[in-house]
Amino acid sequence: MLNMGGTMAKSFISSNMARYQPGVSGFWALLKHYFAVDNAYVLRKFKVLLLPVLKKSWHRVPAEEAGAAQDGSAQFKFARPCVDENAPDLYLPLMAFITHALISGFVKGRASNFTPEVLVEVTSSAMVVQLLEVLLVRLGLYLLGAPAAMLDLVAFTGYKFVALCINMAVGIALGRTGYYVALVYTGLMTAYFMLKTMACAVPLGPASRDVMIAGFAALQFASIWWLGDPKDLEP
């Protein structure tokens, strides 16, 4: 009986693994694509995020032009981030998200206002804003008839956390006035980055296209302002 039960259990596990393995493998390949970054890419991306007005080309590199068949990413339409600085990645947004929470906790602690709930509040509010922003952009693109990959939108909207980290770092060094100066600058640059990125992603169309893209850009500035918390910075 024990042998029969063991055989049945093994058979059940094997059949279910075979059923779900393609999906798991595909998702793993997808994550590898979005995390395919190197130091050179990170530096280039920082430059694009901080000085997008200097950038000339915003078009993404097609996968076939980047030799995707040789690097194992032939299933993707566009090249990996380490090959194309215009490609969205999840490494920078994730690291910036974590850093944003830690810096916020540090500022609270320096002002003697830190509690264990601070990190929970910061991360939960950031996640809610991020989710709402992705859903709004996805809805807007759907109305424009220009669907985009969900993880692309997570990445593009997630770059705001880089701006949030910079703002808080400047605020720690220069006080609340420095924070607001940094907020205006990074907010405008991040909005411009989103404007140019979406302009390349959405085909030309009616005037509502330009209004929607401008709305996406304004949403970035608004979310950076909303998520920033300078009240514990020194004046």
**pLDDT tens, residue by residue, 32-72:** 889 999 999 999 999 999 999 999 999 988 877 666 444 44
pTM (predicted TM-score):
0.85
Q: Does 11 score more than 70 pLDDT?
A: no
Confidence label for 122 from pLDDT (cuts 50, 70 and 90): very high
In this structure, what is the dihedral angle of CA atoms 210, 88, 98, 157, given to the nearest 10 degrees? 10
Q: Does 204 score more than 60 pLDDT?
A: yes
Question: What is the spatial distance between Cα 174 and Cα 71, in angstroms, rounded to a whole number?
Answer: 45
Question: What is the spatial distance between Cα 99 and Cα 156, in angstroms, rounded to a whole number?
Answer: 18
Question: What pLDDT sits at residue 12?
Answer: 47
Residue 169 neighbours by CB distance under 10 Å: 15
- Tokens standing for 66? 């980047």
